[in-house]
Amino acid sequence: MATAPTTVASETLTLPGPLQLDCGRQLDRVDVAYEAYGELSPARDNAVFVAHALTGDHYLASPHPITGKPGWWARMVGPGKPIDTNRFYVICANVLGSCMGSTGPASLAPDGKPYGMRFPVITIRDMVRAHVALLDALGIKRLHAVVGGSMGGMQALSLAANFPERASAALVLAATARHSAQNIAFHEVGRQAIMADSAWQDGDYYASGNRPEKGLAVARMAAHITYLSEAGLTGKFGRNLQDRAEKTFGFDADFQVESYLRYQGISFTDRFDANSYLYITRAMDYFDLAEEHGGYLANAFRTTKARFCLVSFDTDWLYPTAESRNIVHALNAAGAPVTFVELSAPYGHDSFLLEVPALDRVVTGFLDQ
């Protein structure tokens, strides 16, 4: 099947100037690692920017260099797929603060040593600033669409709100306009798990050869539960035992769900930096699009040129449908064109990444306009 898109660029751009940040500091040198698929039209008007989630990266539709697995949205992006690389020039960039090529806490500071916790605390808007700088470098004045799920949806909203001329459309999946107390609480558990790991060493672990893998694995496990639905976990695992007929009366992973979670935790540490996890979760917790715009979410969208599509999933308890509806109300109040659908899917928050044919139809239809 000729469904894998051709990667036309897998590059790292060093921004031409310093990046000013919400915290008041600036980063003098910022690298942005990105991939692109498809062909940019002569008018440069067919670009679709896909923003990734917390633990994602720019390996959107090409194999991941560490895990060897297909790109995280290979099912959605490619020739003839909903984000059709025969029609669109599709770009995905590793976010600022991450660890797959863009500048983050594991990068070298001007003194030649890794930033560690000297890296500035960044925001979702700072990530978007880096994306816009990339678009500038690529000569793309306005996107056909910005697309993202979860934290990617936050970036899509932030781009449409803060750079109102830069996107003709925003497709926002399983997202929220601000982190709730419960969202913050789960992230704080993850951060404390990392910081409790004696290998963390106040974030200064890069030269030690000993990374806080145990803490990062626990953080990932806690977060992973929030990505799945209770019914989905029950359907997939229930109380089934793992490769045994009887409980062992011990602390091995007797239950399949334990074994699965442990695997999720451990495998994550192969590809992710613990300090990046701290910084990116912090950026998500700080995200409050209304607060950035005088306390009224509608104000965020007064000048946007984008039309919007919001999608939520009925089993998503991390960012439930009410969060999307809240955004839709604000868009209505701002007079922005918006369509909204709650899709039924059993996978919880992760539904946007998984096999949900109804989502494919929504994405295809919205980008087609």
Q: Which positions touch its own copies (CB under 8 A)?
A: 22-24, 117, 120-121, 178-182, 184-186, 188-189, 191-193, 195-198, 214-215, 217-218, 221-222, 225, 228, 230, 233-234, 236-239, 247, 249-251, 253, 255, 257-258, 261-262, 265, 278, 282, 285-286, 288, 291, 317
Smallest separation, CB 197 to its own copies (Å): 6
316 a catalytic residue = yes
Beta pairing class for 31-37 and 89-93:
antiparallel
Smallest separation, CB 174 to its own copies (Å): 16
Other beta carbons within 10 angstroms of residue 180's beta carbon come to 15
Q: Using DSSP, state whether 170 is helix, strand or coil.
A: strand
349 a catalytic residue = yes
Smallest separation, CB 78 to its own copies (Å): 33
**Closer residue to its own copies in complex, CB, 61/127:** 127
CB 139 within 8 A of CB 108: no
37 phi, psi to nearest 5 deg: -135, 150
44: its two tokens = 């440069």
140: its two tokens = 């793309």
Please give the helix or strand (H or E) that residue 181 lies within, else none: helix 181-196
- CA 263 to CA 284: how far, in whole Å? 25
**Closer residue to its own copies in complex, CB, 106/140:** 106
The residue annotated as part of the active site, out of 179, 276, 316, 324, is 316
Q: Which residues are annotated as a binding site for substrate?
A: 220, 350
CB 283 within 8 A of CB 124: yes
Torsion of CA 229, 234, 239, 245, to 10 degrees: -120
The residue annotated as part of the active site, out of 62, 98, 150, 324, is 150
Of 142, 149, 160, 167, which Cα lies nearest the Cα of 50? 149
**Closer residue to its own copies in complex, CB, 188/355:** 188
**Closer residue to its own copies in complex, CB, 50/318:** 318
For the annotated catalytic residues, the residue numbers are 150, 316, 349
